[in-house]
Structure 1
Amino acid sequence: MGLLGGIDLKEKQKINELELKINREKQKLDKKLTRQKILLGTFLVDALENDSVDGLKEYTTNNLLDFLTRQVDKELMADLVRELSDKQN
């Protein structure tokens, strides 16, 4: 390969380094988005538990299960929806 092969190797190493950097940045962004979702969920759970937003419990019980697409998620949230519904009455 000679001299040209060495240049290709350096370029490949640079590409690998850049790909690693991109992956690290993607992981940071994913963690940030996950944390935002957790904090938003915590905020909404607090609002539901304290009944601090008029109509939020009713809206949640009427729409949450339809919003969810996976059966396993619907099963996971069914008890919560029932509990919220019972607290409304």
Structure 2
Amino acid sequence: MSLLGGNDLKEQQKINELELKINREKQKLDKKLTRQKILLGAFLVEALEKNSVQGLRQYTAHELPKFLTRDIDKKLMNDLVKSLNKDME
């Protein structure tokens, strides 16, 4: 065993363990935020389906296409936007 740097291995091991712990906590937070977004989305979809919030359908049909930036997302939501616009006519 070397006289110099004998504790370096232990210190590096502690750093690695702390980094793992940080990553686990980040994953937990990411999962929590994703679940919140899903629940909020489900809440809004229900409000849209029931037409329970005056102006929500019109606002969604008008603003959602502006919010979406990727073509694949626009294509995915196209039927919903058309349906909302049709319901308002």
Same-fold call, TM > 0.5? yes
Aligned to 1:14: 14
Aligned counterparts of 1:66 and 1:53: Cα–Cα separation in 2: 21
Segments ≥4 residues shifted beyond 4 Å: none
Q: Which moved more, 1:1-10 or 1:53-62?
A: 1-10
CA-to-aligned-CA distance 1:46-87 (integer Å, 9 cap, x gap): 000000000000000011011111111111101110011111
Listed as ranges, the gaps of 5+ residues in structure 2 are none
| TM-score, normalised relative to structure 2 | 0.95
Q: How does 1:47-58 map to 2 (within 5 A)?
A: 47-58=47-58
Aligned to 2:71: 71
Aligned counterparts of 2:54 and 2:3: Cα–Cα separation in 1: 73
Q: In structure 1, the residue corresponding to 2:54 is in which secondary structure?
A: coil
Aligned counterparts of 2:32 and 2:86: Cα–Cα separation in 1: 35
For 1:65, the aligned partner's letter is P
Q: Report % sequence identity.
A: 71
| TM-score, normalised relative to structure 1 | 0.95
Root-mean-square deviation (Å): 1.0
Number of equivalences: 89
Listed as ranges, the gaps of 5+ residues in structure 1 are none
Q: In structure 2, the residue corresponding to 1:52 is in which secondary structure?
A: coil
Aligned to 2:86: 86
Aligned counterparts of 1:48 and 1:85: Cα–Cα separation in 2: 12
Aligned counterparts of 1:6 and 1:50: Cα–Cα separation in 2: 68
For 2:26, the aligned partner's letter is K
